[in-house]
Amino acid sequence: MKQIISCLGTILLMLVVNYVVSIFIGVSFIEISLFIGLIFAVTIRFFTSKGGLSSNMVRMQAQAMTGIKIEEEKAMFKPSYAYYTAIIYTLVSLISVFVYYKDYFI
């Protein structure tokens, strides 16, 4: 049940952001949907991963301030249902953009 709520919440948030941005910029919904999906997927991946550049910077600052050596975390990413939802949204919007602009591509 928690996974379904996470997926529905992610889709709803992406659709609302997509709608607001498309009205604010003055473009159609489909034109901006691919970028919104990519932004959400990258943001979810960045903020839910362990280790990596941001964690190493914080670890190095803590070591410099305290003088105590802290073990390095290995970079690890465990995909969540929200991440999979953002990826599927991005793929569906890519297909939609291709179908919508097929005359330009072919």
Distance CA 99, CA 36 (A): 18
**Residue bearing the bigger pLDDT, 65 or 25:** 25
The full DSSP string for 72-91 is PPPPB----HHHHHHHHHHH
Total length of the chain: 106
Across 1-18, average pLDDT: 93
Distance CA 26, CA 23 (A): 5
Give yes or no for a contact between 84 and 45, defined as CB atoms under 8 angstroms apart. Answer: no
Distance CA 106, CA 96 (A): 15
Task: Name the residue ranges covered by the structural domains of the chain.
Answer: 2-49+79-105
Q: Say if residue 63's pLDDT is above 80.
A: no
Across 79-97, average pLDDT: 93
**Residue bearing the bigger pLDDT, 93 or 54:** 93
DSSP state of 68: -
Task: Say what percent of the chain tops pLDDT 90.
Answer: 54
Containing 28, the helix (H) or strand (E) segment is none
Containing 106, the helix (H) or strand (E) segment is none
Across 14-36, average pLDDT: 95
Task: Say what percent of the chain tops pLDDT 70.
Answer: 86
pTM: 0.77
